[in-house]
Structures are given as structure tokens and as C-alpha cells.
Amino acid sequence: MSKDFERIIIPVDNSESSKKAVKKGALLAKLLGIDAKIITVNDTHQFISSVIIEEKMKKDAEAFLEEFKKIGKEFGINLETQLIIGKPAEEIVKFAKENDLIIIADQEKTVGLDKFMMGNVSRDVIKNAPCSVLVVKSKK
């Protein structure tokens, strides 16, 4: 019997919503006995010309990825992490394969431009992903 899902992809930013998605993804990966990978997409190179600022943002992303990786240990699984450069929705969709499951946080608590940007990311991932997408809702 083949597995419905071979891998879970958890796209994240440095938010509490993403932390909830990582917890759900880690639990589901453990229950299904499959691999899970946490990814974050850095698109700052499109907006920032300062190498120093871009390097700091990269280090910040690596730090929160390491924190999220610890969640896997709490569930007794290894969560791999990867930092990708590009436009978030496009890179998430390109990263996913047909037999993956994407677990993505909604961004209801963000405001202003961040809400607009993240809303577009999750909407575009749902619309264009080659696989199933599970949206983890924030509690209001």
C-alpha cells in the first residue's frame, strides 16, 4: 500500500502562527511516519540593497529555523530546515511535490502590509500547489 503523503512541508516566518503550524506538522509527521521539512523564503534581496542588512536577516531566519527545529525533538522526530531565496509563494510551490502535504499558518493576526503580503502568499500557495494544503488557523 502506498502512502498518500511522503513528506510534509511547513513554510514558516518568525511568528506564533508559524510555530503552531510546526507543532501540527511535527505531530502529523510522527503519526504518519513520514519526513517533515521546515522552509522559510527570504525575499528581502528584492527590496534591500544593503548586504549587511540582508546578512542580518539571513542570520535571524536561521535562528528561528533552529528554534522551530527543536519542536521536532519534542515530538521525537527530526525536522530538517532550509532557507530559500526568492518570492515566497512561488518558491513554496516549486519546492512541493505531488505527494507532499503543505502545512501553512494563516496570518489573520498580522496587520497592514504584512497581512496583505502573507494573505497573498497563503492564498497563492493554496491555489497553485501541486499537492494538498492544510491551513492552521490562528485562534482569535
The string of pLDDT tens digits covering residues 37-51 is 999 998 765 555 677
Between 48 and 87, name the one with better pLDDT: 87
Whether 87 maps to a domain, the answer reads yes
Whether 14 maps to a domain, the answer reads yes
Element (H, E) at 100: strand 100-105
Whether 43 maps to a domain, the answer reads yes
Whether 23 maps to a domain, the answer reads yes
Whether 2 maps to a domain, the answer reads no
pLDDT given for residue 116 in this prediction:
43
C-alpha of 122 from chain center: 10
pLDDT given for residue 43 in this prediction:
79
Query: How many domains does the chain divide into?
Result: 1
Environment class of residue 87 by beta-carbon count within 10 Å: exposed (0-12), middle (13-18) or buried (19+)? middle
Whether 1 maps to a domain, the answer reads no
pLDDT given for residue 119 in this prediction:
59
Whether the CB-CB separation of 108 and 81 falls below 8 Å is answered with no
Whether 60 maps to a domain, the answer reads yes
Average pLDDT rounded to a whole number, residues 14-24: 94
Looking up cell 526568492 gives 86
Range(s) of the domain holding residue 69? 7-136
Q: What is the pTM of this model?
A: 0.86
CATH of the domain at 124: 3.40.50.620
Whether 58 maps to a domain, the answer reads yes
Element (H, E) at 103: strand 100-105
Cell of 38: 521546515
Tell whether the model's pLDDT for residue 111 goes beyond 60: no
